């Protein structure tokens, strides 16, 4: 069975948590595509060469969830040649036998426009900044400013900007618990699986 679930949305909206839960619940493989970009950004040097030479060890780094890696990811993701180098890897993963859940920013619009289920997970910038602040600490106002700046970069880039697919179902997690958000998404996947 080839069954793809595309989960898109901005930073700290809950797409990773929801995606992992869906993969576990339905026995699907999971790919956090943001880790690919974080790994490319964290490698440093020429981003295109880094994307073309990405290894499993690069994806296993323990600093990929840092604010710095997130900022680097957002910057290298705006480079068309980096995106091109990582696109086929993501598409191959999505078409694996047994099904897959991919989360990122352009899964439903660019990587897997034919996905069986497309979700766009979002929350207010303030809620997302608070979640990120709980995760990484620091100055709360600075974290909010970084979230807003990242949104602008991700939504404003010329190549594969962050936006919901026309047929994506919106899941606003601003006022939902994790369990409520996962239940809402799981119901949509279950309905498509029949």
- 175-182: list long-range contacts, CB under 8 Å, 24+ apart: 178/14, 178/17, 178/21, 181/14, 181/17, 181/18, 181/121, 182/17, 182/18, 182/21, 182/22, 182/25
Q: How many CA atoms lie within 13 A of 80 on its CB side?
A: 2
Known binding site for ATP: residues? 9-17
- The two tokens of residue 159 are 């190549």
∠ at Cα 170 (86, 66), nearest 5°?
A: 45
How buried is 81 (Cβ within 10 angstroms: 0-12 exposed, 13-18 middle, 19+ buried)? middle
Distances (CA, A) of 27 to 23, 67, 141: 5, 31, 39
Sign of the torsion formed by the C-alpha atoms of 162, 86, 33 and 133: negative
Q: What is the DSSP letter of 98?
A: T
Query: Residues annotated as binding site?
Result: 9-17
């Amino acid at each position: 069975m080839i069954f793809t679930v595309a989960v898109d949305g901005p930073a700290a909206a809950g797409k990773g948590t929801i995606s992992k839960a869906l993969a576990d619940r339905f026995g699907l493989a999971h790919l956090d595509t943001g880790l690919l970009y974080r790994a490319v950004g964290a490698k440093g040097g020429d981003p295109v060469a880094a994307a073309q030479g990405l290894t499993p060890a690069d994806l296993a780094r323990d600093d990929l969830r840092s604010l710095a890696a997130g900022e680097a990811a957002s910057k290298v993701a705006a480079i068309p040649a980096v995106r091109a180098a990582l696109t086929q890897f993501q598409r191959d993963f999505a078409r694996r036998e047994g099904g897959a859940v991919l989360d990122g920013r352009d899964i439903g619009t660019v990587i897997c426009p034919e996905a069986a289920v497309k979700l766009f997970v979002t929350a207010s910038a303030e809620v997302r900044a608070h979640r990120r602040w709980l995760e990484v600490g620091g100055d709360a106002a600075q974290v909010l400013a970084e979230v807003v700046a990242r949104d602008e970069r991700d939504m404003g880039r010329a190549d594969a900007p962050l936006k919901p697919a026309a047929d994506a179902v919106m899941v606003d997690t601003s006022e939902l618990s994790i369990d409520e958000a996962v239940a809402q998404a799981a119901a949509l996947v279950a309905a498509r699986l029949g």
